[in-house]
Amino acid sequence: LLSADEIFETGVQASKSGLSLAIHAIGDRATQEVLQGFNRLRKFERDNHLPRLRHRIEHLQLLSPENLALVAKLKLCASMQPVHLYMDMQTADRHWGARSRYAYAFASLISHGTDVIFGSDAPVESPNPFLGIHAAVARSQYSPHSTSWYPEEKINLAAAINAYTLEPARQAGLKGMLGELAAGRFADLVVMDRNPFGVQPDELHTLKPVMVMVEGSRIFQTF
């Protein structure tokens, strides 16, 4: 709903106040406008010796191929929700056609050096991260024999887990506190019924927690 000019004008006020922007963009035209606005904003930050803030684009569901590298060049965070892929793939094929090749372009964005974080978009979708992890790794429906939708954009399990854990902590400025199991971090963790790295990709959505801890306190346990 905003032009590149309006995004830039809003961005100037935000950057002067030290506030990073999060802008929703789904279609390729929306993404184009957002990137043009951010391109001008990055120049404004440089010219005025302002810090390069952690601006991000929410959803980023469809990109033009020529814009893949620009997201990384502008040091923007791609905040994406893989779980939407389940419901959107048929609609995307119907309305976007061949452009769907760069829909949910997880692998392409990561290969260009873009910082990618994943979320659920709850309550629009389930907050269960393993549904999104399955979508990012398998890019298929839940059926074991489903065909992957543009398999070129599949990513491996380690990359998907990183996008749900360590990378969001880094983007929020909380690396060293959250996002990984290490000494000195908050003990926020889940214990799963199976090792995610020991199941087939098409089984990832079936994983369930058997224990949940928040800051070291057990808030859920099945054993």
Residue 45: count of CB within 10 angstroms of its CB: 18
| pLDDT in the model for residue 145 | 79
Rounded Cα distance, 199 and 193, in Å: 11
Rounded Cα distance, 129 and 132, in Å: 5
Strand order across the 56-59 sheet: 22-25, 56-59, 77-80, 115-118
Helix axes 129-138 and 84-95, enclosed angle (nearest 10): 40
The DSSP call for residue 147 is P
Return the H-helix or E-strand segment holding 57.
strand 56-59
Q: Which candidate, 217, 212, 207, places its Cα nearest to that of 160?
A: 207
- What tokens were used for 203? 């089984």
Residue 133 has pLDDT above 90, yes or no: yes
Kindly report the backbone phi and psi dihedral angles of residue 113, in degrees, each rounded to the nearest multiple of 5, phi listed first.
95, 15
Specify whether the CB–CB gap between 188 and 166 falls below 8 A. no
Q: For the chain, what is the mean pLDDT? A: 96
Kindly report the backbone phi and psi dihedral angles of residue 191, in degrees, each rounded to the nearest multiple of 5, phi listed first.
-110, 125
Q: Which candidate, 171, 17, 12, places its Cα nearest to that of 80?
A: 171
The DSSP call for residue 28 is H
* Per-residue pLDDT reduced to its tens digit, 172-222: 999 999 999 999 999 999 999 999 999 999 999 999 999 999 999 999 999
**Which residues, including other chains, have CB under 8 Å from residue 104's CB and lie 6 or more apart?**
61, 80, 82, 84, 85, 88, 139, 150, 153
* Per-residue pLDDT reduced to its tens digit, 73-130: 999 999 999 999 999 999 999 999 999 999 999 999 999 999 999 999 999 999 999 9
Give the gyration radius of the chain's Cα atoms. Answer: 19
Using CA of residue 131, residue 135, residue 136, residue 138, what is the dihedral sign? positive
